Amino acid sequence: MTLQTNQSKPTPTESAVLLKLYDNYVLPCRKIALDGAARVNSAFSVVLACTYAESDVEYARLVRREESWGEFAQGSVRRRADLRQALQAAQSHINRDLGQSHAYEMQQRQAAAKALSDMAYQQQVIAAMNRPITTNCTRIGYAINCSSY
């Protein structure tokens, strides 16, 4: 709360330190976070990149001494809340897509199982129609008796 109510602006020395902090700490950490998020799902890295871009605008205003420490801190609190909400929305979207993908895959598997079952039945019918018939005939005098199986 103390930082959020601080109306002073950075001194020129503090602005120089903020630039070094950004180059040496903020950027490398962001790269690691973006790479990790992209490995999980690209939707997460998009959310982070948008949040970082918004943060950079306010950070630049702080470095240029156009914004107070308190204003920057209040924006940071707001951005964190927005980031949490955006990440939850992305997670919901991902879960919905996965659910739809799973349902489609199950439909495809059921269709394939039915097609295999139908093919097996058709093969049995064809085999029954093409099975060889054996006929045995016996002759006694002028009479012939035949049986087929």
Lowest mean pLDDT among 54-58, 87-91, 100-104, 116-120: 100-104
Helix (H, G, I), strand (E, B) or coil at 143: strand
Q: What span, in angstroms and rounded, lies between the C-alpha atoms of 35 and 42?
A: 9
Distance of alpha carbon 49 from its chain centroid, rounded?
17
The more confident residue out of 15 and 124 is: 15
Question: DSSP secondary-structure letter at 67?
Answer: S
> Would you say the pTM of this structure is higher than 0.75?
no
If 0-12 CB within 10 Å is exposed, 13-18 middle and 19+ buried, where does residue 48 land? buried
Q: What span, in angstroms and rounded, lies between the C-alpha atoms of 16 and 18?
A: 5
Identify whether the C-beta of residue 34 lies closer than 8 Å to the C-beta of residue 45: yes
For 31-82, how does the pLDDT look when each residue is reduced to its tens digit (9 = 90+)? 999 999 999 999 999 999 999 999 999 999 999 999 999 999 999 999 999 9
Identify whether the C-beta of residue 48 lies closer than 8 Å to the C-beta of residue 86: no
- When pLDDT is cut at 50, 70 and 90, the band that residue 128 belongs to is confident
Q: What span, in angstroms and rounded, lies between the C-alpha atoms of 52 and 28?
A: 13
